[in-house]
Amino acid sequence: MPSDLFQDPNVRMLTQWIDESERITVLTGAGISTDSGIPDFRGPNGIWTKNPKAEKASNIQNFVSDPEVRKASWRDRLDNRAWSADPNDGHRALVQLEKRNKLVALLTQNVDGLHHAAGSSGTKVVEVHGTLREVACLECTYRDDMQIALDRVRQGEEDLDCPECGGILKSATISFGQSLVQRDLLKAEAAAQNCDLMVAIGTTLAVYPIAAVVPAAQRVGAKIAIVNAEPTEMDHLADVIIRESISQVLPIIVGGAMNLPEEGDTQDASHPK
């Protein structure tokens, strides 16, 4: 881990704020999973940048109306990076934040399930855009493990229908044009209003309504921290911005100020005092 991260004044400040805070709400986006080998959507190596057809499949109207879009989507599901990806140190750091009894909620825009895989509690994680790990029917309440559906694809089925009602099956993710789950939105709103520190990690804060939790938290007096490699839509609201590798910096800021070397100390970062 680069030792200069320990000397970054913004890193040291956020580390102190986490120590001092009692109620922290975290919002994560695709950027926290890129170090696990899962590409983002619109970056230079993004899923939609490289495969525009995949973006077309993310619109519910296209998915429902065009069998060819559904067939391509199911083929793409077979090789999704999420099946072979492991949580990284960024995901694991947020588990430690929960263990420190400071975490109000972990709101995530990600559908890869890596927060759960890292060990975050199901009572804390709110997957506002759904999950890739399950399959759901668009007509009835049928829901099951995604791998059961993918086994059907491997056996030769191209356009999957519901085993209970015959309706269209898709991943249990929220596509463009679909409504978010009201219960999850209410949880996110409550978490924003009940925090003294909001930390947005790996998200451009451009997708609504979930991005609205940041100004909502600010309105109740919470400090706002943004950890993201690139500028976001809400940098102007931030009290501190950190542009470092998420998987490298999160373990530092969650670890606590007592683990930071004295300012100016150039000791190896892997052996903090």
Radius of gyration of the chain (CA): 20
Number of residues in the chain: 273
Contacts of 227 (CB under 8 A, 6+ apart): 14, 199, 200, 201, 202, 241, 242, 244, 246, 249, 250, 253
Cα–Cα distance between 239 and 261 in angstroms, integer?
A: 23
Q: Is 116 a catalytic residue?
A: no
Integer CA distances (angstroms), 160 to 67, 172, 213, 267, in order: 10, 14, 36, 57
What are the DSSP calls for 114-168, one per residue?
Answer: HHHHHT--TTTEEETTEEEEEEEESSSS-EEEHHHHHHHHHTT-SS-B-TTT--B
Residues 115, 129, 236, 271: which is the catalytic one? 129
- SS3 state at 65: helix
Integer CA distances (angstroms), 129 to 35, 119, 206, 251, in order: 20, 19, 14, 26
Active-site positions read 129
